């Protein structure tokens, strides 16, 4: 293991890296850097891949586009997918002790970060190759395939470096969170107010935006039920709009819920304080990791079918995923295997029209909730949020829980009474919210809304800390701000 770690250290020295700022960056400058990164990201989403024709997005694939902040047929084709996938793999390797790293040690933390970056570069190459050579862009010549592959790799490396730029302290938060939030916000605006005509139906013009479409139906005397649930097109209706608002209120409420554990500081005359544990203890991490897992199952099962199983005779590949065949190759629509059951249903209107989808919906909700719980447990154990890590920090800080001896094992046992149930419950809740909201065709998807609220909450806390750091430098130094 030591040899592997030393090899990773040597490799990390040749990887592209963004240096941390030598001095503290002002809040104004952080806003500027964040705006520059965001502008570049949005421009990339408007530049089509050279060598590919206009590609129509398949309806169900929009779910993964939101999660991975990607855009079909553009330089953002892969989005943050390689970054999230690399993070998922590294968390599993460290959590299972296959790679034995103590993330509380600076050297091990540096190795973890550089290893994740190396794995991100590998995933960029693997995912870009899977897209190009699985027929995603139709049948390309070898020369065009290599050109498209080069574009995907370079664009994804730029996204990785922009994420690192913001995380290193030049901007606010992280690039991954920023890109996801912008993608979800764009989706909400588009499906809420966009006055884009998508056709005519029963004497009225049908619009993409929920509000213009409802007004069009009301003014033409059309059936209001078609404004509530769109009968076709896999486009959200008023049901999805109002469910989105209700979901926003519920998530904001849950985000603000806390369980407070009383503590005292023995060195300062027993000063009393409280440790707040969020009710959504694992935040949005499990649903991001679960979505990354499902998306990669979809991508690689499709790649395997198109390259090794075009006639559908290999039972092992069929068990992983079966996809519709088209005149141009293999479509993104799964019709069997694991890929089918981890793919979100197309919404309530589709389920009503196809009762057989009820079984698919139940299995999808169950799988997502179970996987989110497992990822929640793994994340807590590997990210410093476990009762053991929290107890260690309490002891190092000279704190103790009133009525209990200042012992790490005793404090750990007490914290476990809160942290273990919170971990399982919060993992289940975020999975259930994401899955059920998708069934109700929520605008922005259930996962997207969950991520948007969590990310905006994080940015709110970041802005508060930044303002305190600039206004009261002494307090900033006291709480460890740099």
pLDDT at site 19: 83
Q: In 3D, which of 251, 167, 245, 290 has the Cα closest to residue 451?
A: 251
Strands (E), 202-270: 204-207, 258-265
- State pTM to two decimals: 0.78
Cα torsion angle, 233, 239, 242, 243, sign: negative
For residues 470 and 480, give the distance between their C-alpha atoms in angstroms, rounded to a whole number: 13
State which H helix or E strand residue 178 sits in.
helix 175-193
For residues 99 and 402, give the distance between their C-alpha atoms in angstroms, rounded to a whole number: 37
pLDDT at site 482: 42
CB 350 within 8 A of CB 234: yes
For residues 258 and 425, give the distance between their C-alpha atoms in angstroms, rounded to a whole number: 14
CB 379 within 8 A of CB 91: yes
pLDDT per residue as tens, the chain (482 positions): 556 666 766 776 677 778 888 888 888 899 999 999 999 999 998 899 888 875 555 555 666 777 788 888 899 999 998 998 888 788 777 766 777 777 667 777 777 888 888 889 999 999 899 888 877 777 788 889 899 999 999 999 999 999 999 988 898 888 888 898 888 888 889 889 988 887 777 677 888 888 998 888 888 877 888 888 877 656 788 888 898 899 889 888 888 888 877 777 666 555 676 778 888 888 878 888 888 788 888 878 888 887 887 777 888 888 888 887 654 555 667 888 898 888 887 777 778 777 888 898 899 999 999 999 998 988 887 777 788 877 777 777 677 676 666 677 777 887 888 888 999 999 999 999 888 887 887 888 888 888 888 888 888 888 888 877 777 665 555 444 44
pLDDT at site 450: 84
Q: Which residues contact 111 (CB under 8 A, 6 or more apart)?
A: 5, 8, 9, 12, 101
pLDDT at site 1: 55
Give the three-state DSSP class for 373.
helix
Cα torsion angle, 135, 81, 361, 223, sign: negative
Q: What domains can you pick out in the chain, each with its CATH number? A: 1-193 (1.10.3370.10), 197-228 (no CATH), 237-482 (1.10.3370.10)
261 has which bridge partners?
A: 275
Give the three-state DSSP class for 32.
helix
CB 58 within 8 A of CB 103: no
Q: Which residues contact 433 (CB under 8 A, 6 or more apart)?
A: 247, 250, 251, 446, 450
64-to-292, 316, 446 alpha-carbon distances in Å: 8, 25, 12
Counted residue by residue, the chain has a size of: 482
Q: In 3D, which of 172, 153, 154 has the Cα closest to residue 163?
A: 172
Query: How far is CA 449 from its chain centroid?
Result: 11
CB 298 within 8 A of CB 343: yes
* Buried-state track 215-242, b at ≥16 Cβ within 10 A, e below 16: ebbeeeebeeebbbbbeeeebbbbbbbe
């Amino acid at each position: 293991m030591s040899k592997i770690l030393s090899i990773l250290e040597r490799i990390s020295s040749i990887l592209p890296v963004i240096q941390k700022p030598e001095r503290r960056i002002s809040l104004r400058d952080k806003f500027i850097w964040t705006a520059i990164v965001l502008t570049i990201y949005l421009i990339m989403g408007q530049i089509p891949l050279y060598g590919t024709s206009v590609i129509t997005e398949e309806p169900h694939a929009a779910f993964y586009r939101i999660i991975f902040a990607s855009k079909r047929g553009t330089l953002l084709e892969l989005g943050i997918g390689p970054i999230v996938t690399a993070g998922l793999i590294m968390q599993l390797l460290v959590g299972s002790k296959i790679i034995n790293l103590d993330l509380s040690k600076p050297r091990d933390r540096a190795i973890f970060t550089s290893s994740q970056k190396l794995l991100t570069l590998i995933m960029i190459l693997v995912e870009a190759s899977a897209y190009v050579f699985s027929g995603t862009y139709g049948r390309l010549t070898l020369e065009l395939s290599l050109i498209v592959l080069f574009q995907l790799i370079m664009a994804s490396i730029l996204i990785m470096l922009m994420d690192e730029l913001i995380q290193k302290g030049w901007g606010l938060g992280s690039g991954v969170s920023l890109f996801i939030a912008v993608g979800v916000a764009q989706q909400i605006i588009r499906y809420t107010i966009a006055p884009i005509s998508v056709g005519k139906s029963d004497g009225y013009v049908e619009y993409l935006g929920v509000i213009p479409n409802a007004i069009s139906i009301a003014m033409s005397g059309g059936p209001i039920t078609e404004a509530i649930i769109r009968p076709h097109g896999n486009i959200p209706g008023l049901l999805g709009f109002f469910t989105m608002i209700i979901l926003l209120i519920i998530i904001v409420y849950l985000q603000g819920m806390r369980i407070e554990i009383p503590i005292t500081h023995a060195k300062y005359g027993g000063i009393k304080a409280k440790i707040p544990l969020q009710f959504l203890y694992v935040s949005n991490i499990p649903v991001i990791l679960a979505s990354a897992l499902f998306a990669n199952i979809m991508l690689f099962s499709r790649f395997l079918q198109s390259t090794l199983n075009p006639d559908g005779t290999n039972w092992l590949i069929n068990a992983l995923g079966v996809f519709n065949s088209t005149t141009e190759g293999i479509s993104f629509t799964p019709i069997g295997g694991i890929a089918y059951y981890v793919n979100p249903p197309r919404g309530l209107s589709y389920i009503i029209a196809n009762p057989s989808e009820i079984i698919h919906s139940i299995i999808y909700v169950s799988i997502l909730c179970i996987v989110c719980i497992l990822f929640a447990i793994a994340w807590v154990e590997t990210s410093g949020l476990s009762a053991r890590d929290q107890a260690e920090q309490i002891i190092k800080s000279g704190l103790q829980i009133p009525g209990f001896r200042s012992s790490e094992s005793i404090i750990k046992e007490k914290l476990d009474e809160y942290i273990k149930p919170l971990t399982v419950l919060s993992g289940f809740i975020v999975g259930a919210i994401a899955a059920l909201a998708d069934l109700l065709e929520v605008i922005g998807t259930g996962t997207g809304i969950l991520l948007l609220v969590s990310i905006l909450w994080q940015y709110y806390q970041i802005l508060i800390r930044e303002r305190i750091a600039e206004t009261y430098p002494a307090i900033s130094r006291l709480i460890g701000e740099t």
